[in-house]
């Protein structure tokens, strides 16, 4: 996880006055972003300033400021400047899904370890193959800004799913700013908006024109989506569901393994991994597969479970997600396959008092911008404290179930893992929301398909940017196995009746996320397989916490 700030401003006559608040709107210092970006990347920070004189055209100043959260050796400072003068700011992880990265590394630098870092490799690839060809061939969760000095172009983008945050401000045609975070000052952030996923952007410094190159399903497009469009096939007789479940489990295991193996820890102590854990089916399957990946490792897997003291409900921290989390943790530990693993699960109860919510209210609002609704705040609040990872750690399910007086707990445990695995994406891809049931009831599988396509298409705008900004504040990086390109491709190709099925005849029970539930049943997680979807803000009780808020709609603007 890294922090990115980039600005482009005209180099003006010192005697002229372009704009009174010009400096504040286009410098990392003026926007007071430096410290916030260092929270995202505490290991290294650096700035490069470039003067772009192009023949008789007006010269511009480019300022590139980056912070780095180092995930593996060697630490590679950013911004990274290549031998040809190109400058790269990169935030994310690349995964060797299609076997191309290792091929590139060997072809570019042989056994030179300088190319083992994702940023260094991407810089080399941009210089050799160009931005579009490189982006088409890589897989991963990322956002980047790249100055191509040879073509005098600025490139920027989020990955085609949008799993990392990037914001843009172009309130003036002769200026532009990009940042992982919005300014804290409300007066300075009004012109900032999220960079849409699904497009790669190029600004030509010679003309100041911006070109958007879209990802497409068209085979002739320079950027072709690495996954298929949603399948409209609903013919039950054409499918072997046992085969589908087996294929799904294999693909999801590979996605988890890619994200687990990309973590590097100190060899002097057991490795620690962490999962955002409500106890629901999505995250419990991720926990199970993480243990499978680590079965021969002396590792700890922290299950981070957050609960809020909600004065409007006044039931303490015994929230639905706390009860479910403990139960699912116990079911996990009872599986024979898990009991034979060398790794172990630890349950981390993160209890958030109402006073802490009030203290953090402004910070969460600043981080989640441009999202601004009551629902966004309640979700962001849950991820903010869950990602912090500070709570009470239990190593035995029976001790946790005993409550506050249970022994064998460390009062102020803080997970050392810099990576948090998330189950986000399962509901959007496999029909996990109530509205999917409603869509199916209204118009069958055709209407359901349209709803699922819409949900996946807007993930970058509704969820991913906000969650990245909130979680990264604690120097933590979210990783999304369900949004792995291979998993997405499988999910979109799957027949619709493997996602939402009517069990027990035409008027039977409608079961969403059927494939996940069958997988859970297959590995022995039978109770987890029967759990219904509960949104995090209701499961953790971070929604509508103030007295009198009960009737406020989630879509209302947050005050």
Our answer to whether residue 2 is catalytic in this structure is yes
Tokens of 558: 């947050």
Q: Which residues contact 493 (CB under 8 A, 6 or more apart)?
A: 228, 231
- CA gap 303, 280 in Å, rounded: 12
Tell the residue number behind the tokens 């799993």, with chain if given.
163
Tokens of 54: 């192009």
Catalytic, out of 2, 115, 283, 341:
2
Tokens of 287: 């926990």
Nearest Cα neighbor of 543 from 384, 376, 427 is: 376
Quick check: 399 and 345 in contact, CB under 8 A?
Answer: no
Q: How many beta carbons lie within 10 A of that of residue 173, not counting itself?
A: 9
Tell the residue number behind the tokens 């950027």, with chain if given.
223
Burial of residue 382 (CB within 10 Å: 0-12, 13-18, 19+) is buried
Quick check: 319 and 308 in contact, CB under 8 A?
Answer: yes
Nearest Cα neighbor of 143 from 94, 185, 82 is: 94
Tell the residue number behind the tokens 């031998």, with chain if given.
83
Tokens of 149: 């000095």
Give kind and range of the element (H or E) at residue 377.
helix 374-388
How long a stretch of residues is the chain?
A: 559
Quick check: 252 and 482 in contact, CB under 8 A?
Answer: yes
Handedness of CA 420, 424, 430, 435 (dihedral sign): positive
3-class SS at 178? strand
Question: What is the set of active-site residues?
Answer: 2
């Amino acid at each position: 996880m890294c922090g990115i700030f980039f600005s482009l401003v005209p180099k003006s006559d010192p005697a002229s006055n372009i704009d009174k608040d010009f400096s504040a709107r286009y410098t990392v210092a003026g926007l007071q972003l430096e410290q916030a970006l260092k929270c995202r990347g505490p290991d290294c920070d650096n700035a490069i300033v470039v003067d772009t004189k192009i023949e008789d055209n007006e010269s511009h100043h480019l300022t590139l400021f980056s912070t780095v959260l180092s995930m593996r050796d060697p630490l590679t400072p950013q911004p990274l400047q290549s031998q040809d003068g190109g400058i790269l700011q990169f935030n994310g992880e690349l995964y060797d899904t299609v076997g191309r990265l290792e091929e590139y590394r060997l072809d570019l630098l042989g056994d030179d370890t300088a190319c083992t870092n994702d940023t260094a490799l991407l810089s080399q690839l941009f210089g050799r193959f160009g931005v579009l060809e490189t982006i088409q061939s890589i897989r991963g969760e990322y956002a980047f800004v790249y100055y191509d000095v040879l073509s005098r172009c600025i490139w920027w983008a989020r990955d085609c799913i949008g799993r990392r945050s990037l914001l843009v401000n172009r309130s003036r045609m002769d200026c532009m700013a990009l940042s992982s975070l919005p300014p804290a000052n409300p007066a300075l952030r009004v012109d900032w908006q999220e960079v849409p996923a699904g497009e790669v952007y190029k600004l030509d410094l010679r003309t100041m024109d911006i070109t958007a190159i879209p990802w497409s399903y068209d085979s002739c497009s320079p950027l072709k989506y690495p996954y298929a469009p949603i399948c409209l096939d609903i013919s039950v007789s054409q499918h072997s569901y046992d085969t589908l479940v087996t294929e799904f489990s294999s693909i999801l295991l590979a996605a988890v393994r890619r994200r687990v193996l990309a973590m590097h820890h100190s060899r002097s102590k057991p490795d620690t991994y962490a999962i955002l854990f409500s106890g629901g089916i999505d995250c419990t399957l991720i926990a199970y597969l993480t243990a499978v990946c680590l079965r021969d490792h002396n590792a700890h897997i922290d299950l981070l479970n957050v609960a809020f003291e909600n004065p409007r409900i006044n039931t303490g921290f015994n929230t639905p997600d706390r009860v479910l989390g403990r139960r699912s943790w116990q079911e996990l530990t009872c599986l024979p396959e898990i009991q034979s693993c060398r790794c172990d699960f630890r349950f981390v109860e993160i209890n958030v008092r109402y006073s802490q919510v009030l203290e953090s209210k402004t910070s969460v609002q600043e981080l989640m911008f441009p999202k601004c609704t009551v629902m966004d705040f309640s979700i962001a609040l849950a991820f903010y404290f869950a990602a912090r990872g500070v709570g009470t750690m239990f190593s035995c399910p029976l001790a946790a179930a005993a409550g506050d007086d249970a022994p064998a707990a460390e009062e102020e445990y803080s997970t050392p893992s810099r990576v948090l695995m998330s189950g986000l994406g399962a509901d959007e891809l496999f029909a996990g929301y109530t509205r999917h049931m409603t869509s199916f009831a209204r118009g069958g599988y055709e209407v359901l398909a349209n709803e699922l396509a819409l949900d996946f298409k807007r993930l970058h705008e509704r969820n991913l940017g906000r969650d990245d900004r909130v979680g990264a504040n604690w120097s933590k990086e979210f990783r999304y196995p369900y949004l792995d390109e291979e998993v997405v491709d499988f999910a979109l190709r799957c027949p619709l009746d493997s996602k939402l099925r009517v069990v027990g005849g035409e008027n039977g029970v409608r079961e969403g996320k059927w494939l996940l539930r069958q997988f859970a049943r297959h590995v022995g997680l039978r109770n987890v397989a029967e759990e219904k979807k509960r949104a995090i803000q209701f499961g953790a009780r971070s929604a509508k916490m103030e007295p009198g808020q009960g009737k406020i709609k989630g879509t209302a603007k947050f005050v």
